[in-house]
Structure 1
Amino acid sequence: MTVPFAQQVTFLYAEAPEACWRFYEEVLGLTLVRDQGSCRIYATVAGGQGYLGVCRARGPRATEDPRREGGVVVSLVHPDVEGWHARLLAAGVAVQGPPFHAAAYGVTSVFFRDPAGYTLEIQRFDRPMTEV
């Protein structure tokens, strides 16, 4: 068996995905790699094999709390959290506050929501992921 896996896709579901598609394409600038009609898949990692799928939901969300069972937080890693904070504000995105450093986790982050209400985070690690 080969580990790690060759690719990774996280799927999010929205009752009205069109607003999310515009958000991920226009605000976050993600590259659309596959349009399946009711689901679009975007590349999230430069030079990598990480993807985010945004699909039409078959029903309403089970929970609004991303840290409860059935919830999700999508974290995107980038060295310029402060720059992303400014870009999100300029695009009219309601962020959950300025970038902050969480010493317990060794990250600096900014949190916000997409048009379907999913929580997203742009974070920078104090140490590269290659360090344990």
Structure 2
Amino acid sequence: MVSNFQYPITFLPCKNLEENRHFYETILKLPVALEQGPCILYKIGTENHFSYWGFCSHYDEYIQNQKKVCLTLVVENIKEVDDWHTELIKKGVKCIKEPAHTPQFKLYNGFYEDPMEYTIEIQAFYEDGKPKGV
């Protein structure tokens, strides 16, 4: 069978949808793609490269230990990583690791924590480190 997957959705448990909504809509400025009562889906990316993150208030019984999850947002360049760092710090977002070069993976990145303690990574690939097709 050929994999004809159209797009990925990553679902994560969320204790407080309104607190999460503020973080993802106001601070990260992600658009809501779908609201389903106890779940909110956000669209990430552009028309050719996109996916969804879904936060659900009823998933705690199924999924635990959010410290093992890293949600990565890829930006165009190093300046954007630094700009996001400044913006997130200004808005009181906890920084786990200041932006820095990671030559092993050919990227520049910083790590933050959302209200549910998920790790948020903002990164830019070096030109020679981008995934194929990007």
TM-score range, shorter chain: 0.7 to 0.9
Instruction: State how many pairs are aligned.
Output: 126
Secondary structure of 1:18's counterpart equals: helix
Alignment of 1:4-83 (within 5 A): 5-47=5-47, 48-59=49-60, 62-63=64-65, 65-66=67-68, 72-79=69-76, 80-83=80-83
Kept in 2, the 8 Å contact 1:6–1:49? The answer is no
> Shift of residue 54 of structure 1?
1.0
Q: Hey, what does 1:92 align to over in structure 2?
A: 92
Task: Mark the CA change 1:74 to 1:21 in structure 2 (over 3 Å): closer, same or farther.
Answer: same
Kept in 1, the 8 Å contact 2:72–2:121? The answer is yes
**Aligned partners of 2:31 and 2:95: how far apart in 1?**
22
Secondary structure of 2:84's counterpart equals: helix
Task: Mark the CA change 1:52 to 1:58 in structure 2 (over 3 Å): closer, same or farther.
Answer: closer
Counterpart code for 2:70: V
**Which string of whole-angstrom CA distances, capped at 9 and with x for unpartnered residues, describes residues 96-130 of structure 1?**
23211111111111101110111110111113222
Task: Mark the CA change 1:62 to 1:85 in structure 2 (over 3 Å): closer, same or farther.
Answer: same
TM-score (norm 1): 0.85
- Structure 1: tracts of 5 or more residues without a match: 67-71
> Shift of residue 17 of structure 1?
2.1
Counterpart code for 1:56: S
- Structure 2: tracts of 5 or more residues without a match: none
Q: Give the share of equivalent positions with the same residue, in percent.
A: 30
Runs of 4+ more than 6 Å apart: none
TM-score (norm 2): 0.84
Kept in 1, the 8 Å contact 2:12–2:59? The answer is no
> Shift of residue 36 of structure 1?
0.4
Kept in 2, the 8 Å contact 1:21–1:54? The answer is no
